Each structure stands twice: as structure tokens, then as C-alpha cells.
């Protein structure tokens, strides 16, 4: 049974009033749906953390080992190829683990490219690693250090100082977090 | 005190009385309003104070329309946004939303870079040790730091082992 109030609303409210009410309700619904989908995206991003297969993990470790022991130019080139082969695909929704692996590999490749006398390529790889995420981590700081060393090699002192400063900021952030947890 | 009943009236007074009598009988009077005419009008009103409906309608027709509305005016039309926010049940939203946006923008612009490492902590990646971070700070001097390379290799090993362990526990 319709109440007197509902009847009055239905009869007296102009069309614009009902339209505005409908828009308000639609906005609320859209907000609720988008917040739910955002939560779902976050869950999906965190669910993307286990993307490395055991074989991939083994190859990744081997590539890092090659980079650890590389002393000659040929060994370093082989290590660069092995590390590049393990660079994961990183989407905007990638989990923190994938980002960590990608940035760690990028910083190592950049350092090796610089050692091989290819600063432009070293800078490109470092920039690619930095473009993925700016969340404070050890690999992020390493990328800034690698970038700073490239600029030093290119005699760009101001750019090098800026990159070192960014690395220092990340290092400070991590140090603060570590001290807070102790 | 003068005896008004027996007093002789002057010709002017008599003329004025006659004029008053004419006015009281409703006679027309062209020209300036005389004191007698004003007095006659006052007397007429005092004798017949009731305003008839016909006279009221006549007077109302002479007045500007805005002064005597037929009925109460319809309510002022509310704007779309007014209705929109009242539809949300947020009557003050028109004020609160811009304020909240302003605060949000200010807070965001004051925020410091880089982003905190919360997400890394949340997903359970091993945290870097203070020794590693100190070695990294020394490497920031630009000099080669073999100690840092060794510390970094150990930390990398921890992270990879953590990912492997996670796969073993919950992976395919």
C-alpha cells in the first residue's frame, strides 16, 4: 500500500526532481561498483605474485649467478643475455614481487652494459626499470645508482647528482622502515 | 465660552456649510479638494466603514499585480545540483565536496617522494637488513663496493627463496 508521502512525492515532484534523484542513486551505485572492482583489481594484483614457474626460477638464479662471476667481456655479454631473457612482462597491475624482480634485473643489466662501454643502453635499461614503479625498494635505489653512474660516465654531473640524491632518498626511506620495525 | 447655538453665522460659514451638505449628499465637486470636501469624505467613511466586495475588487484591479498576488507564488525552481545532492541525501555536499577535494589536493601535493615501502611489507617480501642498507649508502659515494655486491647477492637469494617457498606452499 502506498503511503500518503509516496503518493505526494509521485504526484508533486517535477520530472527534474526525480531525474536528479535517479542520477544520485546511479552515482552511488557506480561508486560502490567501482570500489568493489578496485578491491578486485588489488586482489588480482596480489594474486599475480606467483607467476614464476619453477623452471623460470631456476633460470633466473642461474642468470644472476652468471652475472656474479662474470669477469671478462665475453662472460659479461653472456650474463647480460641471460638476464635479459629472464626479464618478466610487467603490466600496470603487476604484483610487488614481479616489480621487484624486474627492477633488480634491470639494475644488474644496466650496470653490466655500462661496464661493457655502452652507457646509452645502460641508461635506457635503467629508465625502463624506473618507469615501472617508484615504490621504495632496494632495487629501486640500485636503479638510481646505476643511472647516476651512467651520467658520471657521460660527464653529466648535475644529472648524476640528481640520480644519487634520489637513490639516497629511497635508501633513507628503507632505513627508516627498518629502524621502525626493530 | 461662546454660545454656539445662538451665535450668528457669518456668510462664509454658511457657504461652507452648504458645500459640506452637498458633499455629504454625494455631489460631484470639481477642482481643488476643499477642507469641506475632506471633512465630507471622512464623515462618509465613518458612516459606512464596511468595504464592499465590489469596491474591494475595484481597488484591487487598480493596484499593481505584484502587490496583491492571486495565490501564493510557486516555489523557486531548485537547481539540478541541489536536487542531485539532496537525492544523495547530502544536503551539504555542495560545500563539502569542493572542500574535501581541496584538502585532498593539498595533502597529495605536500606528500613526499618516494612512495613508502608499505606494499612490499604487506606482501611479505624479506625486508632488507640494516647492514645491507648501510652498505648501499656507502656505495652511493660512487666508489666500487664489493661488500655491497655480496650483501645484495645474499638479499636477492633471500627474496628468491621466499618466492620459491610461497610457490611450494600454495602453488601448483
Instruction: State the number of CA atoms in the 13 A half-sphere of A141 facing the CB.
Output: 27
- Whether residue A140 has pLDDT greater than 90: yes
Write the CA distances from B110 to A7, A56, A177, B101, B106, integer angstroms: 52, 42, 20, 14, 6
- In a mutational test of the A interface, the residue from B133, B143, B161 whose CB has the highest number of chain A CBs within 10 Å is B133
Distance from the Cα of A41 to chain B's closest Cα (Å) equals 15
Average pLDDT over residues B127-137: 91
> Is the model's pTM score more than 0.80?
no
Residue B106 DSSP class:
H
Average pLDDT over residues A164-177: 94
A27 vs A45, residue with greater confidence: A27
Average pLDDT over residues B40-60: 72
pLDDT category, B172, cuts 50, 70, 90? very low
CA gap B43, B48 in Å, rounded = 9
Across the A:B interface, residue pairs with CB atoms under 8 Å apart total: 129
User: Searching chain B, which residue's CA lies closest to the CA of residue A22?
Assistant: B87
Average pLDDT over residues A6-20: 54
Q: So what's the pLDDT on residue A56?
A: 86
For the record, the C-alpha cell of B169 comes out as 606452499
Contact B132 A138 (CB under 8 A): yes
pLDDT category, B71, cuts 50, 70, 90? low
Burial (CB < 10 A; 0-12, 13-18, 19+), residue A80, is buried
Of A155-159, B108-112, B151-155, B156-160, give the lowest mean pLDDT range: B108-112
Average pLDDT over residues B88-109: 70
Of residues B143, B132, B162, the one with CA closest to residue A171:
B132
Of B90-94, B116-120, B162-166, give the lowest mean pLDDT range: B116-120
For the record, the C-alpha cell of B103 comes out as 584538502
Q: So what's the pLDDT on residue B169?
A: 53
Instruction: State the number of CA atoms in the 13 A half-sphere of A88 facing the CB.
Output: 25
pLDDT category, A8, cuts 50, 70, 90? very low
Angle at B35 between CA B34 and CA B37, to 5 degrees: 65
For the record, the C-alpha cell of A85 comes out as 631473457
Of residues A126, A169, A170, the one with CA closest to residue A151:
A126
CA gap B64, B53 in Å, rounded = 18
B57 vs B63, residue with greater confidence: B57
- In a mutational test of the A interface, the residue from B93, B97, B119 whose CB has the highest number of chain A CBs within 10 Å is B119
A131 vs A95, residue with greater confidence: A131
Question: For the segment A44-87, what is each residue's pLDDT rounded down to a tens digit?
Answer: 444 444 457 888 888 999 999 999 899 999 999 999 999 999 99
Contact B123 A60 (CB under 8 A): no
Distance from the Cα of A143 to chain B's closest Cα (Å) equals 12
Angle at A15 between CA A9 and CA A21, to 5 degrees: 70
Q: Which residues contact A138 (CB under 8 A, 6 or more apart)?
A: A104, A174, B128, B132, B133, B136, B152, B155
Q: So what's the pLDDT on residue A1?
A: 45
**ipTM exceeding the 0.90 mark:** no
Amino acid at each position: 500500500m502506498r503511503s500518503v508521502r509516496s503518493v505526494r512525492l509521485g504526484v508533486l515532484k517535477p520530472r527534474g526532481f526525480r531525474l536528479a534523484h535517479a542520477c544520485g542513486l546511479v552515482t552511488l551505485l557506480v561508486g560502490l561498483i567501482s570500489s568493489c572492482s578496485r578491491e578486485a583489481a588489488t586482489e588480482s594484483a596480489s594474486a599475480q605474485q606467483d607467476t614464476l614457474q619453477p623452471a623460470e626460477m631456476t633460470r633466473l638464479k642461474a642468470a644472476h649467478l652468471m652475472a656474479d662471476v662474470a669477469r671478462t667481456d665475453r662472460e659479461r655479454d653472456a650474463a647480460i643475455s641471460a638476464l635479459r631473457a629472464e626479464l618478466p612482462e610487467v603490466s600496470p597491475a603487476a604484483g610487488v614481487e614481479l616489480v621487484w624482480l624486474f627492477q633488480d634485473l634491470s639494475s644488474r643489466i644496466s650496470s653490466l652494459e655500462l661496464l661493457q662501454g655502452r652507457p646509452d643502453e645502460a641508461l635506457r635499461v635503467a629508465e625502463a626499470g624506473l618507469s615501472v614503479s617508484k615504490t621504495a625498494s632496494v632495487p629501486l635505489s640500485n636503479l638510481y645508482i646505476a643511472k647516476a653512474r651512467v651520467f658520471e660516465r657521460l660527464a653529466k654531473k648535475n644529472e648524476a647528482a640528481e640520480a644519487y640524491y634520489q637513490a639516497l632518498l629511497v635508501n633513507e626511506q628503507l632505513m627508516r622502515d627498518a629502524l621502525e620495525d626493530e | 465660552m461662546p454660545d454656539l447655538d445662538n451665535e450668528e453665522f457669518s456668510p462664509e460659514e454658511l457657504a461652507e456649510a452648504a458645500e459640506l451638505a452637498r458633499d455629504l449628499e454625494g455631489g460631484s465637486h470639481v477642482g481643488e479638494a476643499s477642507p469641506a470636501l475632506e471633512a465630507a469624505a471622512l464623515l462618509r467613511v465613518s458612516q459606512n466603514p464596511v468595504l464592499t466586495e465590489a469596491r474591494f475588487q475595484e481597488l484591487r484591479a487598480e493596484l499593481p499585480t505584484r502587490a496583491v498576488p492571486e495565490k501564493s507564488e510557486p516555489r523557486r525552481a531548485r537547481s539540478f545540483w541541489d536536487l542531485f545532492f539532496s537525492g544523495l541525501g547530502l544536503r551539504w555536499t555542495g560545500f563539502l565536496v569542493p572542500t574535501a577535494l581541496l584538502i585532498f589536493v593539498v595533502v597529495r601535493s605536500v606528500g613526499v617522494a618516494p612512495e613508502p615501502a608499505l606494499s612490499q611489507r604487506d606482501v611479505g617480501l624479506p625486508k632488507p637488513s640494516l647492514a645491507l642498507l648501510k652498505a648501499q649508502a656507502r656505495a652511493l659515494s660512487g666508489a666500487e663496493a664489493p661488500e655491497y655486491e655480496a650483501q645484495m647477492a645474499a638479499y636477492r637469494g633471500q627474496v628468491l627463496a621466499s618466492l620459491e617457498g610461497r610457490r611450494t606452499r600454495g602453488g601448483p
